Amino acid sequence: MDLFSCDVLVVGGGGAGLRAAIAVAEGNPQLSVAVISKVYPMRSHTVSAEGGAAAVIKADDSLDEHAYDTISGGDWLCDQDAVEAFVREAPEEMLRLEHWGCPWSREPDGHIAVRPFGGMKIERTWFAADKTGFHLLHSLFQTSLKYEAIRRYDEFFVTRLLVDDGRCQGVVAIELATGQIRAITARAVILCTGGCGKVFPFTTNANIKNGDGMALAYRAGAPLKDMEFVQYHPTGLPFTGILITEAARAEGGWLLNKDGYRYLQDYDLGKPTPTPVLRSMELGPRDRLSQCFIKEQEKERTFEGPYGHYVHLDIRHLGEKVIDSKLPFVRELCLKYAGIDPVKEMIPVRPVVHYMMGGIHTDIHGATPLPGLYAAGEAACVSINGANRLGSNSLTELLVFGARAGKAAAAFAAEQAEPSPSLLAQAHDEQRRIEAGFLRKSGGREKIAALRTEMHQIMEQSAGIYRTESVLKDAVGRLQRLRTRSQDLALDDDSYTFNTELIAALELSYMLDVAQTIVHSALERRESRGSHQRTDYPQRDDYKFLAHALVWCGADGSPRIEYHPVTITRWPPGKRVYGR
């Protein structure tokens, strides 16, 4: 087996991973750093982010305002020390990206332009038209090419973490092109693998978003945190789940039910006005807007289409000029995938799984409880997002906490001894597991797609926008049975060359682990907070649940939950008020 080694190994080549790698290369040029990714970095899902990235830069704004919007938006489950660090470091990170060439949209005088966004009281969202994630990712990737110290393993799929002596010391990975198993040892590992939207059937997430890093950390003994908090974005295109950015509402778009009525006014989100008002109506937070949709559906005031219920997003009144300059991608996507022109027609939309607030438990430096293991980006839970992330905080989070994790991992790596010699034996065990369990296995009866579809059904029924005890309990059992059946997979493909069926099988196993942690955490949290709404416990319960849920993988493989205090610095828990 080929053995590679480096000082810091970054798993994932999206925004957080690239930012972390650059932080290592810049801060500790004597260290070697490698980025391993199952896709070429520019394919990473950061590419799909649209609306923008929040950071205080204008004179009328303040760090405290950004912090308060974030904390109240997160229904007080955010760790406030992390939020304070986040808002403080956000502007310098965003400026750094500007210096690296990100084509931010500008004011006529050449300064950075900002736009409003949901749940934010002051305009602070930087944007590159409505392809912000695309430009951010390509700017980071192209800049990363400048650093000789950054080595890349493109199209390598990580199958396990190497842990020895209580410390994470590398990974085992399959090189897709050849099917060969490689061990890559490292003095520190940073997981930046993104979210897990694909555990649900209807999601904005790309095919690659299977919770790989979350499952890897969980299996290696690091806990996941706040996994019950799943963000539904209120405006996805039916069938495809393609995201129509919140920027469409920030620029002045309206949400209308089947009677042409701006229904959000019925849900304590403010009064309708012709032009957008911050923290009001269509610029309310995502959790509330998605919940309103379900209420409208219950009142039979939504449209019924072949792909479920929907409402209308109307941006016609913005006019072609604004749409083409501020929302060109919205128009492109609607024309291509919905067959409508939003300049002339209303856009059909429905809530769609978009983002995981939860993830790998880390401290404010990106460190997990497992020494040598770090995490950043959507894969991680620091937590700045609490029970509901505000739009345009996630791209900024990639930068701030990607950089932090990179620096912390580099400092840790510089202090470590050589990797343990026993790691190679672990890697050989893993090779045997892959061979015997998948490639050279005979007699399996289950198909990947069938199990995946069942998982989707379970998750949508039990862990959707509204949840309840009996359905969640049932889901726990059904997922357990699905896991057992997944041991009996039959693959059609026994090739070593670019075997995407093998990868899909491994991804399914990651998703089943992550799905279990979501359902268990949702069952145990007997309150309603942010994106986690329990019909049987409709109130927020700060006495019992102003706490993070940490999920550990038990000895028998079943999840074990412990609660962990939320850090409150300056903003005691209060009521979330919008539209007033």
Partner 1 sequence: MASTIALTVARYRPEREAAPIFQTYDIPFRKDWVVLDGLNHIKDTQDGSLSFRWSCRMGVCGSCGMKVNGTPKLTCATFLSDYLPGPVRVEPLDYFPVVRDLVVDLSDFMRKLRQVKPWIIREEESPADGEYLQTPEQLDTYKQFSMCINCMLCYSACPIYGLEPSFIGPAVIALAQRYNMDSRDQGAAERHKILSEHDGIWQCTFVGECTKVCPKHVDPAGAIQQYKLTSATRWVKSLLLPWSAR
Residue 491 found at the interface with partner 1 (CB under 8 A) = yes
CB of 59 to partner 1, least distance (A): 12
What is the number of other CB atoms lying within 10 angstroms of the CB of residue 435? 12
Size of the site for partner 1 (CB under 8 A): 56
By CB under 8 A, is residue 299 in contact with partner 1? no
Establish if 135 lies at the interface with partner 1 (CB under 8 A).
yes
C-beta closer to partner 1: residue 211 or 530: 211
For residue 134, state whether it binds partner 1 (rule: CB under 8 A).
yes
111 near partner 1 (CB under 8 A):
yes
In the window 185-214, what residues touch partner 1 (CB under 8 A)?
Answer: 206-208
Q: Site residues for partner 1, window 42-71 (CB under 8 A)?
A: 42-45, 47-48
Is residue 245 part of the contact set for partner 1 (CB under 8 A)?
no
> What are the residue numbers of the active site?
233, 249
Residues near 244 by beta carbon (within 8 Å), at least 6 away in sequence: 235, 236, 237, 313, 330, 333, 334, 347, 349
The correct pick among 19, 115, 131, 548 for binding partner 1 (CB under 8 A) is: 131
Neighbours of 62 (CB within 10 A): 14
Planar angle of CA 119, 120, 122, nearest 5 degrees: 155
CB atoms within 10 A of CB 337: 12
Q: Kindly list the distances between the CA atom of residue 324 and the CA atoms of 135, 327, 340, in Å, as whole numbers in the listed order.
A: 17, 6, 15
24 binds partner 1 (CB under 8 A): no
Shortest Å distance, C-beta 207 to partner 1: 5
Nearer to partner 1, 339 or 421 (CB): 339
- Position 173 contacts partner 1 (CB under 8 A): no
Per-residue DSSP letter, 335: I
User: Which residues are registered as beta bridge partners of 559?
Assistant: 553
Q: Is 497 in the site for partner 1 (CB under 8 A)?
A: yes
Site residues (CB under 8 A) for partner 1, limited to 446-465: 447-449
Q: How far is the CB of 506 from partner 1 (least distance, A)?
A: 14
**Residue 98 binding partner 1, by CB under 8 A:** yes
180 is a contact residue toward partner 1 (CB under 8 A)? no
β-strand pairing of 254-256 with 224-225: unpaired
| Binder of partner 1 out of 19, 115, 138, 331 (CB under 8 A) | 138
Answer yes or no whether residue 496 interacts with partner 1 by CB under 8 A.
yes
Question: Is residue 108 close enough to count as binding partner 1 by CB under 8 A?
Answer: yes
Q: How far apart are CA 43 and CA 286, in angstroms?
A: 26
Q: Give whole-number Cα distances, 253 to 1, 237, 241, 284, 428, in Å.
A: 56, 15, 19, 13, 56
Q: Are the beta carbons of 379 and 359 closer than 8 angstroms?
A: yes
Distance CA 354, CA 427 (A): 35
* Rounded-to-10 torsion of CA 496, 199, 190, 148: 60
Q: How many CA atoms within 13 Å lie on the side-chain side of 478?
A: 20
**Contacts with partner 1, residue ranges (CB under 8 A):** 39-40, 42-45, 47-48, 95, 98-101, 103-106, 108-112, 131, 134-135, 138, 142-143, 145-146, 154, 177, 206-208, 239-240, 242-243, 332-333, 336-337, 447-449, 491-493, 495-501
